[in-house]
Every structure is written in C-alpha cells, then in structure tokens.
Amino acid sequence: MKTYEAVEQFAALARMIAEGDWGYAEPWQGADVVVVDVAPAPTPNAWLPDYEYVVTQYVRELSWVFEQARDAVKDHDGYGMFKEEFFGRMGEAVNACGSDVPITTHLNVALFAARFFVESVIGRFDHE
C-alpha cells in the first residue's frame, strides 16, 4: 500500500465526518490503546506499563475512526512494527483535546494524527 492511498481514505473519512456521517464500533482495544469513557486507576508497581487509555464520551464513534484508520494502513509494509506508535499518537491527540469538546473535534483530531503519521513517517518508506 502506498501513502497516497491511505491519505485518500483519510480525506474521504474527513468528508464523512464533516457531513455528520460517521459510524459506530465496539470499543477499540488494540496496539496497546484502549478507548474508554472513564480511565481505570493505574496499576501500582506493575511490571508492564498500563495501556494508553483514550478517554472520550464518544467511545463508539471514536472507535469507528480507529477501525477506519487501521483499515487504511494495515496492508502497509511494517504495520506490525509501527501500529503501537500510530494508534498511540491518535490517542494522545484526542486526550490532549480534553473531554469538553464536540464529537467532531475528537474524530477529526484522531484522523489528523493518523494522516500526519502516515505522511511524515510511513511515507518515507514507500517504494515505487
């Protein structure tokens, strides 16, 4: 898969979100990222780090964006090596917004983080 194909898919998703035509999915849990409405308390003295919890009141809608982003990049060479960073950046971007924002903010911020990662990181490794 080439970067431009993923970017085209992200552009189509952005248009859908702008039109209020987003989907719903089961709560996302993958690549060390979990989308929740309330984050659990951290595990004290855990050997492994906790998951990255993405806290939003729009769990099912944001999970849909995560699934769509996954589908846009999962066939790219190296997906297994970058997926934690990819989804982690999406989650960090949403968490940075805070919780008192419209649904479109969370969806678009996650989508922008995905697109930025694809264009700035993955795009460097495309081969003709």
Domain boundary assignment for the chain: 3-37+50-125
pTM of the model: 0.92
What confidence score (pLDDT) does residue 48 get? 76
User: Cα–Cα distance between 42 and 99 in angstroms, integer?
Assistant: 19
Q: Is 36 exposed, middle or buried (0-12, 13-18, 19+ CB in 10 A)?
A: middle
CA distances from 3 to 16, 81, 124 (A): 20, 16, 9
Instruction: Show the low-confidence residues of the chain (pLDDT under 50).
Output: none
